[in-house]
Amino acid sequence: MLKIKNLQAKVDDKEILKGIDLEIKAGEIHAIMGPNGSGKSTLASVLAGNPGFEITGGEALFEGKDLLDLAPEERAREGLFLAFQYPVEIPGVSNMTFLKTALEEIRTHKGLPPLSAKEFMQLLKQKQELVELKTSLVNRSVNEGFSGGEKKRNEILQLAMLEPKLAILDETDSGLDIDALRVVAAGVNKLRSEQNAFLVITHYQRLLDYIVPDVVHILFEGRIVKSGSKDLALQLEEKGYDWLREEVVGG
Amino acid sequence: MEQGIFNSTYQSLIESFEKDHLPERSFEDETLLAKRAAAFQVFSRKGFPSIKDEEWRFTNLNRILKQDFSLRPPSISFAKAEESIAGLDACRLVLINGVLAIEQSDVLPEGLIFLDTQAALANPSYSQLLGSIAVDDNNAMLAFNTAFFKNFYVLHVKAKKLIEKPIHLIHKFSEAGSPSIIPYRLLVIAEELSESTLIETFHSDGQASVLASYVSEVQVAQSAVLHTHLINAAAEDLNLIHHREVEQFKTSVYNNSNLALGNAAFIRNNFNCRLKGSVTETNLLGSYITNGTQHVDNHTVVDHQMPNSNSMELYKGIMMDRSHGVFNGKIFVRLDAQKTNAFQQNNNILLSDQATINSKPQLEIFADDVKCSHGSTVGQIDEQALFYLKTRGISEERARKMLIEAFVLDVHSRIPIKALQEYVLQLLQAKLDTDSLVTA
Amino acid sequence: MSKDEHLLSTLATNEYDYGFTTNIEMELAPKGLNEDTIRYISEKKNEPEWMLEWRLKAFKHFLQMSMPDWQNFPMPEIDFQGISYFAAPKKNQLKSLDEVDPELLDTFNKLGIPLEEQKLLSGVAVDAVFDSVSVATTFREKLAEQGIIFCSFGEAVQNHPELVKKYLGTVVPQTDNVFAALNAAVFSDGSFAYIPKGVRCPMELSTYFRINSQNTGQFERTLLVADEGSYVSYLEGCTAPMRDENQLHAAVVELIALDNAEIKYSTVQNWYPGDKEGKGGIYNFVTKRGICKGKNSKISWTQVETGSAITWKYPSVILKGDNSVGEFYSVALTRNKQLADTGTKMIHLGKNTRSRIISKGISAGNSHNSYRGQVSIHASAPGSRNFTQCDSLLIGDRCGAHTFPYIENRNSSSVIEHEATTSKIAEDQIFYLNQRGIDTEKAVALIVNGYASEVLNKLPMEFAVEARKLLAVSLDGSVG
């Protein structure tokens, strides 16, 4: 589904990604772990097409298409979804209007007719229950005045509504208490299927207790230095990132 | 059609220009005399500004000009500037009625020079710079000063010098016989990478009856840091019209506080900062506490011309009795000034139904990637806070004083020199030692 | 290419949807302005002598007044002699709607204002003004049942002279400004409404203004009187054909609210703005003012300004009655070479009066958008309050946003709060919406609508939907 080869990127003349290789197939969950500043969030931003980053080399294919050639909204319509680490507030734009517009765009791209108001409301209600988001929040402006946990749940609600092929969760666990974490993880687990895939970016092991990955990658100083099974995450939890530093630098 | 004031003071000034004033200035160089002639044209055409001039809409000079002020060669009387700031270790320079009193002034530290008119004119670069920082053909008061100023001083901080000891310039106005109009001028040059502090205080002896026209032009060169403070502690015999024009170059920092805490009958400040370089920083603080029939008008301009500069402006005022406060703050963000951060706040408290405040904060933005905001409030002492203090046994008067002090503390606490802060607090407390607080 | 350049690279004017002209036989006054012009208008309208005299007095004032010079744009040369001051469809004296020229009905249909009552949205009564005259007023019988008078200004002069005489010019005096004086001299028609004591007007009243003829100006006059304890919500819309020349629109609106009455006045102004080079478009110089004459009365202005080459208007409220309330909600969008200098005045004279100002400016292209507002609390108004929030949004780096508030307080128990911000649309907001599949142009429209929503929510339902569409359409092409 996603094939990344030697991807390099910089921001403000600082090289952050120094050559990433990664392949994700349908039905898989991949986790990327790594210390602060290793480039995890940069990778997420670059894949989603954030204009603040400059690609300096490499390629990324999404379902065979050159991802880096597409505008951010085209990537989204092709089925790439980013759950933001810090979802932005958009005053005055109701969550409902926002979701309806986004869903319409994506359905149009897929050649599907727009949902009727009734169908949309039914779908929304169903997905809302999945992430246990209060109806009052759906009627409010996008993310405005939401708590940290509510913002993250709102991200998962959008994920559920838009049904992407590949979802990137950027530190979705940060700032969540354990109950909210369970809700978010349960949502993701219900949404996973043989047709879609997830890329979970996290600093901590604990999210991976709830969303069990097929493959764990360790990102360090802009490169993936180790890949392995979910046990790798446990190992990391036990020994900390210092172990890695010694291993990489020392080796 | 000009809508100025063409009264008898104006008439006598116009008559005296060629007859008395120019012959007296024959020692000046061509450059300066040409500037005077051009400025005289502007002033004679426009007259003193009237309230029909948008910039003077809320400040009526006619009220001041009811007295006949005359321009006479200033003489130093035997006045002595006793005023000093307790605990402030500074180099004193004393101007009496706009004239330097050398015997009352200290020797300056190395890296810094202060020149009087004769010495300044010996170096043509100064007379060239004079009048080239403050340029505005629509400003009749500026033109008046350029045409008529008698004394001109230069404070020059040399490159890369860090002057730790503040300079304390004392402006003292003293009995001058009959009502006098005193135009004088200062040029401040802070060269590259220098850092220095200039404190200016204004005083009068209560017998002065003076209309002072003071223009200060300030140049802050690349990477220089300049702190200035203006504290007005004069008695009600002083009417002051001050124009300050600051130009700032790349990565320079300019901080000013402008506090009207005395009893001067009339103060008009025009305070313009032109940010001509990128990555500059400008902080402007102001406070005005007025009572009786005082009139204090602060006009400020912060003009962002280049990218990535920050400016902050905070002015607070308290009006008592029949006094009148004016705040007119303008922020320009020019086309090239992307990534500007500009902030402006003006808060006022009215303590009397006869007092007036006119606040006119303005934004003129021509660049899109900017963050600018301004706010203005007019209100009263917080009644709940007042009640709270009273329930703790504090008298009404004491409680009001505490809350007013707290209101302006926001401004005064940002003054970095401890001794100056204490001086300001003393002036504030003296000012608030009045019945006007309770009989609101 | 930077993001900003990308946003602007496809800048192109969206077609103005209302730019068509109606071919209909018109009766036009000869060009030019003198006493005879005024007599001509007055005669055409079969006016009583007192009305003519009032006009002539205004004309004398007009001759002595000069153009304002304080606005934030150079005042264009206006050739007052080059304008025809009266233009009316020839078939005009109508007994009923059936007699309205089908061409005219069709025009208003095209504008989305069907005049046949059965086709109308049931909640809205319309007075349709075509160039200088009112061509139809709907639902008048139904309104009359409750004693509500809603008719063209001309009819009011004929049928309700006592009301017109009592209130005309009491809020906007003839000498207020040069355009108000001109209007008083040459106004041709407009709307009149009177809501009797204690009546809550059961439907929205609305006037739709259409300029059609060439070389004419439009000078309509609206007078609304809400008697004690009454309520009315009034809507106003306007469009004009696309023409290369500039046309002058100088209207006057006067609102009077007596004790406990409330008037809600909403405008969606969409006069032709000129093309993207700034050629053509309406010069919109309008004086709108209301007086809260009685205690506990309320006047609320809501405006969405997207049209006109130049907009110069300051809908204001004089808060004379104790405890009265004035509100001003405004969205002004300028693009291409449009100029807008607009805002409000809140004059607090009565005790415990309240005012609230929410202004949202949006500048795009090469346009300049200025907010100018005055809040003045007099010594006679203890316990009064004002809150002002005034925001500007810039799209692109060739436009300007300007804020000129005048704040005056002469009273120690009154409070004024003013806040203003200027910013551009945050790129992270655009990216967030992009990431959900929404393209940049739609994203900007969504964000701008969200930015303006506090004001748009004040509009009556039918208007709010129109206004949202108008904002999205106006921005179309402003961004890539």
Q: What is the pLDDT of residues B262-307, one digit of tens each?
A: 999 999 999 999 999 999 999 999 999 999 999 999 999 999 999 9
Tell me the C-alpha distance between B134 and C372, whole Å: 28
Evaluate if residue C130 carries a pLDDT over 50: yes
Q: CB of B76 within 8 Å of any CB in chain C?
A: no
Would you say B244 and B299 are in contact if contact means Cβ atoms under 8 Å apart?
A: no
Cross-chain Cβ contact A76/C436 below 8 Å: yes
Nearest Cα neighbor of C467 from C126, C309, C236 is C236
Q: What angle do CA A156, A94, C441 make, to 5 degrees?
A: 95
Would you say C462 and C112 are in contact if contact means Cβ atoms under 8 Å apart?
A: no
Q: What is the helix (H) or strand (E) element at residue B362, kind and residue range?
A: strand B356-365
Provide the ipTM: 0.82
Chain B and chain A touch, per 3+ beta carbon pairs within 8 A: no
pLDDT band for position C260 (cuts 50, 70, 90): very high
A240: alpha, beta or left? (left if phi > 0; alpha if psi -120 to 50):
left
CA neighbours closer than 13 Å in the CB half-sphere of residue C277 = 4
Segment B209-227 mean pLDDT? 96
Residue C228 falls within a domain, yes or no? yes
Cross-chain Cβ contact B373/C420 below 8 Å: yes
pLDDT greater at residue C477 or residue C432: C432
Of the partner residues C429, C442, C449, the one whose CB lies closest to the CB of residue A88 = C429
- Alpha-carbon gap: C58 to the closest alpha carbon of chain B (Å): 25
C244 and C143 both lie in a single domain: yes
Residues of C in contact with B351 (CB under 8 A): 412
Q: Which of A101, A155, A157 to mutate to test the interface with C (most CBs of C within 10 A)?
A: A101
Cross-chain Cβ contact C409/B378 below 8 Å: yes
pLDDT band for position B73 (cuts 50, 70, 90): low
Of the partner residues B356, B366, B379, the one whose CB lies closest to the CB of residue C400 = B366
Q: CB of B344 within 8 Å of any CB in chain C?
A: no
- Alpha-carbon gap: B159 to the closest alpha carbon of chain C (Å): 37
Q: CB of C389 within 8 Å of any CB in chain B?
A: no
pLDDT greater at residue C188 or residue B158: B158
How high is the mean pLDDT of chain B?
Answer: 91
Residue C6 falls within a domain, yes or no? no
Residues of C in contact with B313 (CB under 8 A): none
% of chain B with per-residue pLDDT over 90: 75
C414 and C448 both lie in a single domain: no
Would you say B209 and B237 are in contact if contact means Cβ atoms under 8 Å apart?
A: yes
Residue C347: count other Cβ atoms within 10 Å of its Cβ.
21
Nearest CA in chain C to A87: C432
Q: What is the pLDDT at residue C2?
A: 41
C406 and C447 both lie in a single domain: no
CA dihedral A199→A201→A207→A211, nearest 10 degrees, is: 10
Q: What is the pLDDT at residue A249?
A: 61
Of the partner residues C398, C400, C416, the one whose CB lies closest to the CB of residue B378 = C416
Evaluate if residue B383 carries a pLDDT over 90: no
Task: Tell me the C-alpha to C-alpha distance, in Å, between residue A111 and each of A77, A106, A107, B408.
Answer: 11, 9, 6, 64
pLDDT tens, position by position, A172-225: 888 788 888 888 888 889 999 999 999 999 888 888 889 999 999 999 889 999
DSSP output for C241-254:
---SSEEEE--EEE
Of the partner residues C432, C434, C453, the one whose CB lies closest to the CB of residue A92 = C453
Q: What angle do CA C120, C121, C123 make, to 5 degrees?
A: 120
Helix/strand/coil for B213:
strand
- Alpha-carbon gap: C378 to the closest alpha carbon of chain B (Å): 9
Residues of C in contact with B440 (CB under 8 A): 412
Using only the alpha carbons of chain B, give its radius of gyration.
Answer: 21
DSSP H helices, C160-309, are 161-167, 178-186
Helix/strand/coil for A48:
helix
Residues of C in contact with B367 (CB under 8 A): 394, 397
Evaluate if residue C27 carries a pLDDT over 90: no
Q: CB of C1 within 8 Å of any CB in chain A?
A: no
Tell me the C-alpha distance between B94 and B96, whole Å: 6
Nearest Cα neighbor of C408 from C376, C372, C374, C373 is C376
Residue C2 falls within a domain, yes or no? no
Q: CB of C417 within 8 Å of any CB in chain B?
A: yes
Q: Which two tokens stand for residue C328?
A: 């001003």
Identify each DSSP E strand in C55-190 by its residue range.
87-89, 124-130, 133-137, 149-152
Evaluate if residue C126 carries a pLDDT over 80: no
pLDDT greater at residue B213 or residue C396: B213
Nearest CA in chain B to C417: B377
C287 and C396 both lie in a single domain: yes
Cross-chain Cβ contact B380/C413 below 8 Å: yes
Instruction: Indicate the residue type of B168.
Output: H
Q: CB of A97 within 8 Å of any CB in chain C?
A: yes
Q: Which chains, if any, share at least 3 CB pairs under 8 A with chain C?
A: A, B
Tell me the C-alpha distance between C114 and C107, whole Å: 9
% of chain A with per-residue pLDDT over 90: 48
Q: What angle do CA B354, B263, B357 make, to 5 degrees?
A: 35
- Alpha-carbon gap: C71 to the closest alpha carbon of chain B (Å): 12
- Alpha-carbon gap: A212 to the closest alpha carbon of chain C (Å): 26
Q: CB of B51 within 8 Å of any CB in chain C?
A: no
C308 and C446 both lie in a single domain: no
Residue C12 falls within a domain, yes or no? no
Q: What is the pLDDT at residue C117?
A: 55
Chain C and chain B touch, per 3+ beta carbon pairs within 8 A: yes
C450 and C402 both lie in a single domain: no
Instruction: Indicate the residue type of C369.
Output: N
Q: What is the pLDDT at residue B250?
A: 96
- Alpha-carbon gap: C168 to the closest alpha carbon of chain A (Å): 40
Segment A90-103 mean pLDDT? 86
Residue C44 falls within a domain, yes or no? yes
Q: Which of C5, C393, C432 to mutate to test the interface with A (most CBs of A within 10 A)?
A: C432
Segment B93-99 mean pLDDT? 92
- Worst-scoring range by mean pLDDT, A182-186, B152-156, B416-420? A182-186
Q: CB of A82 within 8 Å of any CB in chain C?
A: yes
Instruction: Indicate the residue type of B80.
Output: K
Evaluate if residue C120 carries a pLDDT over 60: no
- Alpha-carbon gap: C320 to the closest alpha carbon of chain A (Å): 34
C356 and C444 both lie in a single domain: no
Q: CB of A182 within 8 Å of any CB in chain C?
A: no
Residue C11 falls within a domain, yes or no? no
Evaluate if residue C10 carries a pLDDT over 60: no
Nearest CA in chain B to C363: B368
Tell me the C-alpha distance between A61 and C431, whole Å: 21
Q: What is the pLDDT at residue B6?
A: 94
Residues of C in contact with B375 (CB under 8 A): 417-420
Query: Per-domain residue ranges for chain A?
Result: 2-250
- Alpha-carbon gap: B269 to the closest alpha carbon of chain C (Å): 19
C373 and C251 both lie in a single domain: yes
Tell me the C-alpha distance between A239 and A248, whole Å: 14
Nearest CA in chain B to C410: B356
Kindly give the interhelix angle for B30-46 and B140-148, rounded to the nearest 10 degrees. 140
DSSP state of B324: E
Q: CB of B338 within 8 Å of any CB in chain C?
A: yes
Strand pairing of A215-220 and A29-33? parallel
Tell me the C-alpha distance between C171 and C168, whole Å: 8
C479 and C387 both lie in a single domain: no
Residues of C in contact with A51 (CB under 8 A): 3, 427, 431
Evaluate if residue B440 carries a pLDDT over 60: no
pLDDT tens, position by position, B314-330: 999 999 999 999 999 99
Evaluate if residue A241 carries a pLDDT over 50: yes
| Number of domains chain C is built from | 2
Would you say A33 and A217 are in contact if contact means Cβ atoms under 8 Å apart?
A: yes
pLDDT tens, position by position, C212-237: 777 778 888 999 999 999 999 998 88
Of the partner residues C434, C442, C453, the one whose CB lies closest to the CB of residue A76 = C434
Q: Which two tokens stand for residue C296?
A: 């506990």
Interface A-C, measured as beta-carbon pairs within 8 A, has a size of 81
pLDDT band for position C14 (cuts 50, 70, 90): low
Of the partner residues B359, B362, B377, the one whose CB lies closest to the CB of residue C403 = B362
Segment A142-161 mean pLDDT? 89
- Worst-scoring range by mean pLDDT, A247-251, C279-283, C392-396? A247-251
Of the partner residues A51, A52, A91, the one whose CB lies closest to the CB of residue C450 = A91
Cross-chain Cβ contact C435/A141 below 8 Å: no
Cross-chain Cβ contact B374/C420 below 8 Å: yes
pLDDT tens, position by position, C32-83: 899 999 999 999 889 999 999 999 999 999 999 988 888 888 888 888 888 8
pLDDT band for position B90 (cuts 50, 70, 90): very high
C185 Cβ neighbours under 8 A, 6+ residues apart = C38, C55, C56, C58, C59, C62
pLDDT tens, position by position, B390-402: 777 788 888 888 8
Nearest CA in chain A to C3: A51
Q: Which chains, if any, share at least 3 CB pairs under 8 A with chain B?
A: C
Q: CB of C451 within 8 Å of any CB in chain A?
A: yes
Evaluate if residue B331 carries a pLDDT over 80: yes
Cross-chain Cβ contact C437/A102 below 8 Å: yes
Cross-chain Cβ contact C437/A77 below 8 Å: yes
Which superfamily, per CATH, for A2-250?
P-loop containing nucleotide triphosphate hydrolases (3.40.50.300)
Give bridge partners of residue C343 from the DSSP assignment: C372
C433 Cβ neighbours under 8 A, 6+ residues apart = A73, A90, A98, A102, C442, C443, C446, C447
Cross-chain Cβ contact A98/C436 below 8 Å: yes
Tell me the C-alpha distance between A151 and A172, whole Å: 10
Would you say C230 and C261 are in contact if contact means Cβ atoms under 8 Å apart?
A: yes
Of the partner residues C401, C411, C420, the one whose CB lies closest to the CB of residue B353 = C411
pLDDT band for position C3 (cuts 50, 70, 90): very low
Residue C5 falls within a domain, yes or no? no
Q: Across C10-19, C129-138, C174-183, C447-456, which has the greatest mean pLDDT? A: C174-183
Residues of C in contact with A49 (CB under 8 A): 434-435
B280 Cβ neighbours under 8 A, 6+ residues apart = B248, B249, B250, B251, B252, B253, B254, B306, B309, B310
Helix/strand/coil for C210:
strand
C380 and C433 both lie in a single domain: no
C321 and C359 both lie in a single domain: yes
C38 Cβ neighbours under 8 A, 6+ residues apart = C52, C55, C56, C59, C185, C186
Identify each DSSP E strand in B129-209 by its residue range.
151-157, 167-173, 180-190, 195-204
Q: Which two tokens stand for residue B385?
A: 């806070």
Cross-chain Cβ contact A77/C440 below 8 Å: no
pLDDT greater at residue B131 or residue C88: B131
| Structural domain span for residue C204 | 18-428
> Which pTM value belongs to this model?
0.82
C468 and C395 both lie in a single domain: no
